[in-house]
A and B are shown apart, each in its own frame.
Chain A
Amino acid sequence: MSTLSIKHLVKEYVPGKPVLKDISLDIEGRGITAIIGPSGTGKSTLIRCINRLINPTSGEIIFEGQDLAKLSGQALREARRRIGMVFQEYNLVERLTVMENVLSGRLGYMGAWDAWRRNFSDADIQKAFALLTRVGLADFANRRADELSGGQRQRVGIARAVMQSPGLLLADEPTSSLDPKTSVEIMEVMRDLAAENDIPVMINIHQVELGKRFAQRVIGMSGGLVVYDGAPDGMDDGILKKIYGGESWLAT
């Protein structure tokens, strides 16, 4: 049984102008699935439809036996806890400490009153500290998030997502704001943490080479449709032309 099964997903921001036109995908087991495609083709929309930060127009998103597209209120929040998300611009709460940011991954599991009083369990705090140590930021636990560099922030963002004990990790262009070396490091952290915790990863990525290097499967999107779905090795110039259009940009 697959972890995530998307069936006939359609999203229209403006009626009659779908951004996602009938997407069907199955994500299974573990490993990294990279989604590539030109800007504006609906990669971010697809990722955000899965955890319902954006509401899909029609279609099904089956995750852990539930159709996420039909959930609302409490049930939706409980389903979201099981889906970690990493963002392009890290989206840390800048005025909170690094530790508070990581611990915010547990908010779905606790009541509002405990959240207000920062009443996290010892187990959560130990796990958060272990994750910070794992991503190499133990010394920064009490620093404010806005004091960190981009690469450090993204490590905190990954720790926050893993803190949720997710069954699926979504990443929306997690390396697009980072330099090439840091990008590789972030991909390594994400790959290793996902493998250690047995979490499948869906990642939107602009750097095709980086995607091919880390992913076991690549999905090419263009014009709101899946135009390629297969192994990274199968991505040749012909496929890239199909995804991005034109050919003048391809290195000869």
Chain B
Amino acid sequence: MTSTTVTRATFFAPTLGKRLATIALLVYVVYAAATLGLSLDRVEKGIGYGARFLAGFFPPNFTETDILPGLLESLQIAFLSSLFGTALAIPIAVLAARNLMPAWVTWIARLVIIFCRSFHPVIIAIIAVKAVGFGALAGIIALTFASVGFVGKLLSEAIEEISLKQIEAVRATGASFMGVIAFGVIPQVMNRFIGFVAYETDSNLRNSTMVGVVGAGGIGGTLFSAFQRFDYSFVAGIIICIIGLVMIGEVLQIYVKRVFR
């Protein structure tokens, strides 16, 4: 028997492809920075502007009366769009799961999810404002779309990862499709589903403060007009309130997850 020499290179040989990919990545980083005019000089100048701008934030102004109504409207937009979005996402996610549905059904459901995920909520908000007019309804529509895309995608992936052995056992009892969903699928994805919805609500809360910039309701409109008036102390007041709201949402999210573990 002939003996073969076995070295590290036998199993971990660097390939030409890997080397070329590394070089290409480095070249692109340099190219992208150069074409955008990113130089140290430009960064230094930018930081100077930023410092002056931030100085305008102090002292933050909370006295304006339209902070609270704006925040409450944002909160309501976030809550309602999470509710509607999740309710729509559940059936779509089940239809999109490749281990439960025939391929052609999953493709239709997948297209719906991809469509909902294609656009940033602000872009959908701009379209919704044109379609249904200024105000909270446009914001709810925009964030509902985003929620369907997000929860639909993650939930359908969670369903695809469930243990088919448990499904097989429930099917073997003679359970109907909905019975299998109730006793085989939902128990396996419930935990993660709660996590997705909590994250989605949190994300909607942040986004609901932004859709107002394009006129779709909530605190964002107030923030944007304060910017346009160069009223930076009011801007600072609003931003601090938004941070507070998001932090409250974060704490609630931890609590909800703990309850449903």
Contact = CB atoms under 8 A, between A and B. Distances in A.
Interface in A155-170: 157, 160, 164
A110 B178 CA distance: 11
A103 to B, nearest CB: 9
Interface stretch (A17-25, A79-87, A129-137, A228-236): A79-87
B102 interface: no
Interface size class of A (residues with CB under 8 A): 20 to 34
Contacts of A83: 172
B166 A92 contact: yes
Interface in A119-149: none
A7 to B, nearest CB: 22
A195 B173 CA distance: 20
A51 B182 CA distance: 21
Contact of B182 (A77, A78, A115): A115
A89 interface: yes
Contacts of B172: 51, 53, 80, 83, 85
Interface in A164-193: 164
Interface stretch (A55-63, A94-102, A208-216, A244-252): A94-102
Contacts of B179: 107-108, 110, 112, 115
B169 interface: yes
Contacts, number: 86
B174 interface: yes
30 contacts: A53-B168, A53-B172, A77-B176, A79-B174, A80-B172, A80-B173, A80-B174, A81-B173, A81-B174, A85-B169, A87-B169, A91-B165, A91-B166, A92-B169, A93-B169, A93-B187, A95-B188, A95-B190, A95-B191, A104-B175, A105-B173, A107-B174, A107-B176, A107-B183, A112-B176, A112-B178, A115-B182, A116-B178, A116-B182, A160-B169
Given A79-B174, A91-B169, A107-B183, 8 more contacts: A78-B174, A80-B172, A85-B169, A94-B166, A95-B188, A104-B169, A107-B170, A107-B174
B184 interface: yes
Contact of A107 (B165, B168, B175, B188): B175
B171 interface: yes
Interface string B179-210: 10011100110110000000000000000000
A95 B191 CA distance: 9
Contacts of A85: 169, 172
B178 A115 contact: yes
B175 to A, nearest CB: 4
Interface of A: 51, 53, 77-83, 85, 87, 89, 91-96, 100, 104-112, 115-116, 157, 160, 164
A15 B251 CA distance: 58
Nearest to B175: A107
A13 B172 CA distance: 20
B175 A91 contact: no
Given A107-B183, A112-B182, A115-B183, A93 B170 contact: yes
